[in-house]
Chains A and B, each alone.
Chain A
């Protein structure tokens, strides 16, 4: 299925108006995930650890 999609996609691109192809979408506001919620205290700590030498 994936293989088929990757073969057909370039064809679709050549034959359709780009704006009709929902290939691209804007970035989300963040990349939150249910299994590790971005709570304020966690993000604050994570930012410090990111910079921790």
Chain B
């Protein structure tokens, strides 16, 4: 089991499952978000419980539901036995007395994740290069007019705030209470990190529980539950068309799987 098992870099950084299957086939409770364009968010995970990708990268390796390594010491022991890794840690963390350690493992993974960006046609449009079709341009207007952009904004179209899921109308599945588990504040019940909409066409199924299969349905639910609006089918189609302009280019060379030291 590797990071790539659940965040497949060839497939926009997701596993396309409602919730992930981890170590020994255990099913977790949340949908795996994409690792593309994630390092720039205000915090990591649906509930923001890790401050950054450096902190986040320490979690999965030891999590019994994910990679299931027994301890930090065990991870270090396994890496130290592979001479190729010992050399690579030395080069990556020069001058450190004991470069092969759990903390540095997470730092290195996180440094790699910080390069996972996927610029799209929307970026070319923002830089003045045109490039949106008439329907996409209409969807862009509707996305803003409907109020989606009050939460999904900034370079990642999200990832920069926490908001209640079911702000105007309660969400149907409240079994995962979200950020209240992190802050223990009542106001954070059903509050989640606003996810990025970059590559959204490719990263379904949707929402923290992965229960919604199609982008059209996700758009409709957002309009009713977050904005108390009913969109027409045409508006949904236009907004969906706009969202597809957020599908970026996968950095093929940067993510090419290297030969691993043995």
- Residues of A with Cβ closer than 8 Å to B? 2, 6, 9-10, 13-14, 18, 21, 23-33, 35-39, 41-53
Contacts and interface: CB of A to CB of B under 8 A. Distances in A.
Interface residues of B, number: 58
B115 A27 contact: no
Contact of B112 (A14, A21, A24, A50): A50
B54 A36 contact: yes
B117 A28 contact: yes
A18 B88 contact: no
24 contacts: A13-B145, A24-B122, A24-B126, A25-B154, A25-B155, A26-B123, A26-B155, A27-B119, A27-B248, A28-B40, A28-B117, A28-B155, A31-B37, A31-B114, A36-B107, A37-B111, A38-B114, A39-B111, A41-B88, A43-B112, A45-B108, A46-B112, A49-B112, A50-B112
A14 B254 CA distance: 40
A42 B108 contact: yes
B230 to A, nearest CB: 16
B144 A27 contact: no
Contacts of B3: 49-51
B52 interface: yes
Interface in B106-151: 107-120, 122-123, 126-127, 140-141, 144-145, 147, 149-151
Given A36-B107, A43-B115, A46-B109, A51 B4 contact: yes
Interface in B145-175: 145, 147, 149-151, 153-157, 161
Contacts of B91: 41, 45
A27 to B, nearest CB: 5
A21 B238 CA distance: 20
B260 interface: yes
Given A9-B150, A24-B153, A45-B88, A32 B114 contact: yes
A6 B88 CA distance: 47
B41 to A, nearest CB: 9
A47 B39 CA distance: 15
A13 B4 contact: no
B149 A13 contact: yes
B92 interface: yes
A46 B111 CA distance: 7
A18 B144 contact: yes
B117 A49 contact: no
A8 B39 CA distance: 28
Nearest to B255: A47
Nearest to B117: A27
Contacts of A44: 88, 92, 258
A25 B126 contact: yes
